[in-house]
Structure 1
Amino acid sequence: MKPIIVDFDGTLADSTAALVAAWNIIAQKHQLKDISLKDIDGLKKLSLMERSKLLNLSMYKVPLVLPQFYQLYRQSLQDIRPFKGMKEVLLELAKRGYKIMIISSHAKDTILTFLKLNDIHCIAEILYSNPIAGKDKAIEKFIKKSTIPADEMLYIGDEQRDIIACKKVCVPIIWVGWGYDAKEAIQYLQPDYQAVAPHDIVKIIDSL
């Protein structure tokens, strides 16, 4: 069973509204810049450093802000749904014998609650990614205990940091265009494959 690692926020879960609401509560508390849903398209085109500067989020504030942010986010789980078509894609890949996994910096019980609420039962494993350490550490840890070589795995994600992490551990990545980073923000990183819509994922895997 070849593993397919799927990013959670922005790839599987359409959580933009919940993230904006949680961020603005945190922003008010820590003197950060608040955002609205209409700001999202502009933010998607920026690099991680440009976003941090715009939002007034310095690196020393990150360890303080993130735990509070995720706690607020979890309270909105009942309002978060999978992107249209993603549930069907995961079910199809699982039916074909792939081991479907989710990677996220959210707690495992948060992901399990989302899966239960949305009747998704094809996830074999959940990988926790420390938001400070980076996703490559979580992927590398999984690779070390797996019998499948890294270049025979596949990652599906939407952000610059997903592509950077995959390049560090030599795992091919399908970047998806409906998430948090626009094409302008990721183009220079040259992801292995690009999907405009969920059904493109199956087409790409069929072509491999």
Structure 2
Amino acid sequence: MKVILFDFDGTIVNSVDAGILITNRLAKEFGFPPFDEETLEELKNLGSRGALKRSQIPVWQLPFLIRRFTYELKQEIPHLKLFPQMQETLLELKQQGYILGIVSTNSVKNIEEFLRVQKLLSVFDVISTNYSLFGKSRLIQKIIRQQKLHPNQVYYVGDETRDIEAAKKSGVRSIAATWGLNSAEILLKYEPDFLINHPTELRNLFIDKAQF
């Protein structure tokens, strides 16, 4: 049995642009400078921790900012889109018998609403979230305990370096997706188990049992 856990924003749903607009709207209220195009390009090539430092967002305000961000993002759900071929990929993996889950700093309500709109809610067996930017490893470990899994059964797919870190800390294999927030160059520096450039590569990776 293989379990594939996914990050949500930037991995399943193309919410990066909406997220930047929301973050910039909240910048003055939370006391950090808004992101211009030059800064955004720079952040793509920094690890998650480096990007946080460069953004000048006060660390103590992060939980409050994330909560507010997810509330604002709720208004954008009707306009958000899946990445190309993501729906077909998820459906095929499910059909092949894989257990699918989501681990995210977004809210369960937002995720379930988006999946409901996309008619994909039944595809996922578990959705686990918290508002801690670097707390995904605890969520992965919780799923492993609750589902009585061994870490070598689990893969975590994400678009940021913190997703790779969370996978490594949890003892599961990491799959870095280059179509989201972080660049391929910085993702490779964190040494994921796999690096993929398109959702269809997930189908090839998991259906071809020789990869494992």
TM superposition score category, shorter chain reference: over 0.9
Q: Is the 8 A contact 2:7 2:158 kept in 1?
A: yes
Q: Which residue of 2 aligns with 1:52?
A: 52
Task: Report the alpha carbon displacement of residue 125 of structure 1 after superposing the two structures with TM.
Answer: 1.6
How high is the TM-score relative to the length of structure 1? 0.92
Q: Which residue of 2 aligns with 1:66?
A: 66
Q: Report the 3-state secondary structure (helix = DSSP H, G, I; strand = E; otherwise coil) of the residue aligned with 1:57.
A: coil
Q: Which residue of 2 aligns with 1:75?
A: 75
Alignment of 1:144-159 (within 5 A): 144-159=145-160
Q: Which residue of 1 aligns with 2:180?
A: 179
C-alpha separation between the residues in 2 aligned to 1:41 and 1:161?
18
Q: Is the 8 A contact 1:136 1:165 kept in 2?
A: yes
Q: Which residue of 2 aligns with 1:22?
A: 22
Q: Deviation per CA, 1:92-115, whole angstroms, max 9, x where unpaired?
A: 000000011111122211111000
Which amino acid is the alignment partner of residue 152 of structure 1?
Answer: Q
Q: Which residue of 2 aligns with 1:161?
A: 162
Task: Report the alpha carbon displacement of residue 56 of structure 1 after superposing the two structures with TM.
Answer: 1.5
* 91 and 36 in structure 1: CA distance in 2 versus 1, 3 angstrom threshold: farther
Q: Which residue of 2 aligns with 1:195?
A: 196
C-alpha separation between the residues in 2 aligned to 1:138 and 1:152?
16
Which amino acid is the alignment partner of residue 100 of structure 1?
Answer: L
How high is the TM-score relative to the length of structure 2? 0.91
Q: Which residue of 1 aligns with 2:3?
A: 3
Q: Which residue of 1 aligns with 2:102?
A: 102
> What percent of counterpart residues are identical?
28
Which amino acid is the alignment partner of residue 30 of structure 2?
Answer: H
Task: Report the alpha carbon displacement of residue 88 of structure 1 after superposing the two structures with TM.
Answer: 0.7
* 96 and 156 in structure 1: CA distance in 2 versus 1, 3 angstrom threshold: same
Q: Is the 8 A contact 1:176 1:197 kept in 2?
A: yes
Q: Is the 8 A contact 2:7 2:159 kept in 1?
A: yes
Q: Deviation per CA, 1:63-105, whole angstroms, max 9, x where unpaired?
A: 3322212211111111111101111110000000001111112
Which amino acid is the alignment partner of residue 156 of structure 2?
Answer: Y
Which amino acid is the alignment partner of residue 47 of structure 2?
Answer: S
Which amino acid is the alignment partner of residue 83 of structure 1?
Answer: F
Q: Deviation per CA, 1:96-139, whole angstroms, max 9, x where unpaired?
A: 00011111122211111000111214122211234256100000
Task: Report the alpha carbon displacement of residue 147 of structure 1 after superposing the two structures with TM.
Answer: 2.9
Q: Report the 3-state secondary structure (helix = DSSP H, G, I; strand = E; otherwise coil) of the residue aligned with 1:173.
A: strand
Q: Report the 3-state secondary structure (helix = DSSP H, G, I; strand = E; otherwise coil) of the residue aligned with 2:22.
A: helix
